[in-house]
Chains A and B, each alone.
Chain A
Amino acid sequence: MGDSHIVAVESDDNVATAIRELNGGETVTVDVGDNEVTVEVAEDVTFGHKIALEDIPEGETVYKYGLSIGYASRDIEAGEWVHAHNVESNYGRGDLAEETA
């Protein structure tokens, strides 16, 4: 059984939420559906923030709750902190509407 304080909601999620502080360098095991995923945490991660459960190449969808929460704005490696510095939204993107207009 995985660490109960790191939560993946659905089996196809590629990120999990830390319900405790994570330290860079520690190895964690996360229950993802019926599987266990073990990753090395790349950096310190605050309570409530997310880590990648697998490599997510730039442009690929980031999944939580089994649904898209945006796309990777650069390559993300398994164990990396996943947040606004490497994920972008697909909604309310007036900035992109202007670029393509």
Chain B
Amino acid sequence: MTDFLGYERSDGSIGIRNFVPIIATAPYANDTVKRAAEIVDDAIPITHPLGRCQTKPDVFQTYRTLLGYATHPNTYGAVVVAHAGEIVDGDELADDIAETGRPSASINIHDEKGVMNGLKATVNATREMVQDASAQQRQPHDISNLTFGINCATSDTTSGLCQHKATAGAAWRLIDEGGRAVFAETPEFFGGEEGLAERAVNDDVAQKILDYVDNWDQRLQETGYDVRGAQPTPDNMDGGLTTIEEKALGALVKSGDGPIQDLVDYAEQIPEESGMYIMDSPGHGAESVTGIGAGGAHFMIISTGQGHTLSNAIMPTIKITGNPGSAERVPEETDVDVSEALVGDQTIDWATDELWDEIMEVVNGKQTLSEVLGESQFAIHRIGPST
């Protein structure tokens, strides 16, 4: 049994951070959210271009994503800022947050008579919550409470040969301790879906894997264009990846070879049962990571070949590379350099230990490079057109 020091929530989840996000329900609240977050130290702004003029599947997805962030284990409480009456409703979101026992506040810019009063109300609500959050102490909890997020970024041919193996090793170490892990990026299963389906715990899950992959292939074919250029991305291709299948086969290494427990939809909550899960998401890193964060992963490993700024404000993001050139070129985007396992005398087990040690420090409070540097992106995947 291994313990970590975390923050207890009234819904039973345990956080590794104590954030207060300020969440815009639609783009017309984005500026108020950003300005309030500049004033209140430690508040996390969550802004996006969605939440309005969307069809129902996208409305559900946007709502589910925002709620996932507001009720994330690392979230103490949340302030919701709406512009006026929107299809993603601010009061409804604040009520759903309060149902988890978290503090919540709902600000409506129209009701406040405009942006100046709206900003003042947002700052006051956020300030109070941040102060209350700062009074909460970390307590010891078993690491089986933790969910491990896995994503790759700017992959190259070193990814599948080195850093993804260390990432898989660390993820399965947590699963062995009773925790859970989740990886995503369904189009990056292309060419490896048969092998992935064989790892499913039952036939239903196996069929779901094949169906999700087929759905993505159909969506891409319906564009009438060759996926290449979009996948692999130009930076992947510079790194030596030729086709989406090659990228996929390397990408799958990051999930190891153990059983797949289940698949969840984009931004859906990761189940509590221990094991490895898949979230349906695009290979677009910012969208994929945003979905994994909404699903409740406590921290995120970005397993990168060429280095990447990709990170998340609510899930601390640890970046690992096994490409010695990248570790040297972009040290500010390299939390863990395991290239000695690829080009030196070290083993993959050593690389896994290096990553695991860093994870344990981060879950106990050590800030990652992207946290210290204030780097994060937020991008909700959209399914269909705006109306």
Q: How many A residues face the partner with a CB closer than 8 A?
A: 33
- Interface status of B239 (Cβ within 8 A of chain A): yes
- Interface status of B178 (Cβ within 8 A of chain A): no
Chain A neighbourhood of B256, CB < 8 A: none
- Interface status of A1 (Cβ within 8 A of chain B): no
Give B190's nearest chain A residue, CB to CB: A91
Interface contacts (Cβ under 8 Å), in number, total 110
Q: Are A83 and B220 in contact (CB under 8 A)?
A: no
Q: Distance (Å) between the CB of A26 and the closest chain B CB? A: 18
CA gap between A64 and B191 in the complex, in Å: 11
Chain B neighbourhood of A91, CB < 8 A: 187, 190-191, 217, 220, 227, 243-245
- Interface status of B89 (Cβ within 8 A of chain A): no
Chain B neighbourhood of A7, CB < 8 A: 161
* Contact pattern, B 137-179, Cβ under 8 Å of A = 1, otherwise 0: 0000000000000000000111011000000000000000000
Q: Are B249 and A48 in contact (CB under 8 A)?
A: no
Cross-interface CB contact of B237 among A67, A84, A90, A94, cutoff 8 Å: A84
- Interface status of A98 (Cβ within 8 A of chain B): yes
Q: Are B161 and A94 in contact (CB under 8 A)?
A: no
- Interface status of B222 (Cβ within 8 A of chain A): yes
Q: Are A92 and B240 in contact (CB under 8 A)?
A: no
Give A98's nearest chain B residue, CB to CB: B224
> Which residues does A use to contact B, with CB under 8 Å?
5, 7, 9, 17-19, 46-50, 62, 64-65, 67-70, 82-84, 87-98
Interchain Cβ contacts under 8 Å between A and B, 24 examples: A5-B343, A17-B161, A19-B158, A19-B161, A19-B342, A48-B157, A48-B239, A48-B305, A50-B242, A64-B246, A67-B245, A68-B245, A69-B249, A70-B246, A88-B243, A89-B228, A90-B243, A90-B245, A91-B217, A91-B243, A92-B220, A94-B223, A94-B224, A95-B226
> Which residues does B use to contact A, with CB under 8 Å?
156-158, 160-161, 187, 190-192, 195, 217, 220-228, 231, 237, 239-240, 242-246, 249-250, 305, 323, 325, 342-343
